[in-house]
Structure 1
Amino acid sequence: MIDDDRVWAVQAILSDYVKSPSLRHLRDPHSLMKVAKDIVKRLDRGNGLWQKWEGEREALLKSAVGCWIPIEALREYLNRLPGPRLTMTDVAQRLKAFEEEPYTYYPNDDLKDGCLALFAKEKDEGTELPAIIGLLAEYVEREEERLRLEHQERYRRMQEQERQEAEQRLLSGADCKWTQLGKAPQWYCRSNGRTYRLKPTSDKKWELHRVNAPSPDEKGKLIGKYGGRGDATKVVAQIAYQAEPQFQLDR
C-alpha cells in the first residue's frame, strides 16, 4: 500500500499544509475544506489526467519548480526514466500545474539569469541533473533570502527618509499631517498655519492642544481629550479654518 502513488500524493499535500506556523490556520474549517478539496483534486487527477507521470518522474519535476531548468533538459532526462515518452508540452504543462498548486510559488524572474548561468556551468562540467536541481534549489533559497533582506533595508531607508522629510515640513512652518519629532511621544500637525499637539495620557487617550510651535514644554491651550488620533484629526479639520480668539497661547 505504501508504494501506491496516491499515498505519496496525499502525504505531500498534508506535509505542505502542516508547515503553516499558525495553529489557528491549521484548525480553520475553511482551510481544512480547502486541503480536502486539494486531496480529492489530486487523486482524481492521478486516476485520469497526467497518466505519463509515474514514480520518480513526478518527484524529480516537482523538485525543479522555481529553478529555471530549461524544459528541453528536463524532458531529455525524464525520458530516460520509466514511462511513456514525454513531449516538451507534457513537461511544460506539468511543471506549470505544479507551480499553481497551493503553497508553491512561481519562479522568481529576478533569479532567472543566475539560475541559467549556474545550470550551464554545471552541465558543461558533467553534473547529473538531479544534483544540478538540488544545487539550484539551494541557490534560489539563498538568493530569495538576500532579496528579502535587501527589500526590508530599502523599505527601512524609505521610511526613515519620509520621517525626516515630515519633520522638516513641520519645523519649516508648512502645513503637515501628524508628525513625531524623533522618538518623542507627542505628535504635531499644522493646518491653515495653526499648530496642534497630541499628547498621550495615562488612561490611553490623547490630549489635543493648540500651541505656538512644536515643543513638549509649551503648555498650550487644551482643546479636548480623544480616544484616538482619528478623532482628533476630525476636530482639527473643523476648527483650523474657524475664527480663533485673539489670545496669547500659554507657555
Structure 2
Amino acid sequence: MFDYERQSTVRSLLFRYLESPSLKHLRDPKQVDGLAESILTALDRTGPVWEKWDAVRGEFLKAAAKAWIPFDELVTFLNGLPGPNLTKTDVAQRLRAFQEEPYAHLYPDERVKEACLALYAAEREAGTEMAAIIGALQEFAEAEEQRLDEERQERWREQQAADRLALQRRFLSGADCKWTALDGSKALFLRKNGRAFRLSPTKDKRWELHRIEAPGDDGELMGLYATRGAANKVIEKLAYEPEWRR
C-alpha cells in the first residue's frame, strides 16, 4: 500500500468515527481502542510493497529528494543503513513513488541545482557525514527556492507597476491604450481609435460608459452595462463609427 493510500485509509476511518453525534461515544476508551484496531487492521490488510524500505531509509530519501545529492553516492549511503541491499532501480523507483504522492512537492528545482552541488562538494571536502549533508542541503534547497520565488514575485509586481504606469502615460499622451486606472480612481479609462472612454462602476455592480475628451470631463453617457465585456463590445463599434460630435 502506497503512503498516500495509507493516509487516505486512516482519514476515511477517522471521519467515519467522527460522524458519531455523541461526544461521550467519541471519548469512550473502548471505542477509541476499537478505532485503533480498525486502523491497524486496514493498514496491515495489504502486505508491504516496498519490503527493503524502513522508516529511516524512507525519511532520508525524502529529505534528499529535492537536494540534488549525486545519485550514486545517495545509493551508497542508503545501503550503509540497516536493511537489505538496494539497487539503483530500488532507489529510483522508491523516489518516484514518493514524488508522485499527492501534495508531496518532492521534485527537485532546477534553479538550485548548481548551488546544491557546490555545497555538497564543499561539505564532503570538509568531512561532513552524509546524514548531516542531506539535512543541510534539504534546508538550503528549500530556503533557496523560497528566495527565488520571492524574487520572481517581486519582479512580477515591479513589472505590473511599470505596465500600469506605461498605460497611464499612453492614455494621458493621447495614444490608444487598453483600460487603465488613473490616480487611484475606481473608474477605468480607455482610448481607441483616438477616442477616449470612461467606465465607472455603480453601486449595483454595473458599469456606466461615458465618451470623454479628458479624464476630468463629465462626458456623455453611452449606456449602462452589466459587465465590462458588454461595454467593450459597444466600444468596438463606437470607436470606428463616423464622428457623432458637433
* TM-score of the superposed pair, with normalisation by structure 1: 0.75
1:52, CA displacement in angstroms? 2.2
SS in 2 for 1:166: helix
Please report how far the alpha carbon of residue 236 of structure 1 lies from its aligned counterpart in structure 2 after TM superposition: 0.9
**Residue 244 of structure 2 aligns to a residue in which SS?**
coil
In the alignment, which residue of structure 2 is the partner of 1:112? 113
Equivalent residue, structure 1, for 2:245: 246
Q: CA RMSD in A?
A: 2.7
Question: Does 1:175 find its partner at 2:176?
Answer: yes
Per-residue Cα deviation, 1:70-129 (whole angstroms, up to 9, x for no partner): 112211121122222222232223222222222122100111111111112222222222
Matches of 2:3 and 2:208 in 1, distance apart? 60
Give the Cα–Cα distance (whole angstroms) in 1 for the partners of residues 121 and 159 of structure 2.
38
1:152-183 CA-to-partner distances (Å, cap 9, x unmatched) read 10101110111122112212222222121231
Cα distance between partner residues in 1 of 2:116 and 2:228? 49
**Secondary structure in 2 matching 1:195:** strand
Q: Deviations over 1:31-50 (max 9, x none)?
A: xxxxxxxxxxxx79x73643
Secondary structure, in 3 states, of the residue corresponding to 1:47? coil
Q: TM-score, normalised by structure 2?
A: 0.76
What's the counterpart of residue 47 of structure 1?
Answer: 47
Q: Is the 8 A contact 2:112 2:144 kept in 1?
A: yes
Counterpart in 2 of 1:127? 128
Amino-acid identity (%)? 49
SS of the aligned residue for 1:95 comes to: helix
Residues 13-44 of structure 1, C-alpha deviation per residue, up to 9 Å, x if partnerless? 46xx9xxxxxxxxxxxxxxxxxxxxxxxxx79
Amino acid in the other structure paired with 1:123: R
Which amino acid is 1:153 matched to? E
Mapping for residues 130-149 of structure 1, pairs under 5 Å: 130-149=131-150
In structure 1, distance between residues paired with 2:223 and 2:147 = 48
Question: How far has the Cα of 1:10 moved from its partner?
Answer: 6.8
Gaps of 5+ in 1: 1-5, 18-42
Is the CA contact (8 Å cut-off) linking 2:179 and 2:189 kept in structure 1?
A: yes
**123 and 100 in structure 1: CA distance in 2 versus 1, 3 angstrom threshold:** same
Q: Which residue of 1 aligns with 2:92?
A: 92
Shift of 1:69: 1.0
Instruction: Give the structure 1 partner of residue 212 of structure 2.
Output: 211
**How big is each residue's C-alpha offset from its partner over 1:116-156, in whole Å with a ceiling of 9 and x where there is no partner?**
11112222222222211111111122111111110110101
Alpha-carbon deviation of 1:9?
4.4
Aligned to 2:223: 224
Judge conservation of contact 2:199–2:207 (CA < 8 Å) in 1.
Answer: yes
Change (3 A) 1:150 1:245: same
When residues 147 and 13 of structure 1 are mapped into structure 2, their CA distance, relative to the original with a 3 A threshold, is: farther
The answer on 1:186 being equivalent to 2:187 is yes
Secondary structure of the equivalent of 2:200?
Answer: strand
Q: Distance in 2 between matches of 1:235 and 1:10?
A: 53
Aligned length: 212
Q: Distance in 2 between matches of 1:87 and 1:224?
A: 72
Unaligned runs of 5+ in 2: 12-42
Aligned partners of 2:112, 2:223: CA distance in 1, in Å?
55
Name the aligned partner's letter for residue 94 of structure 1: R
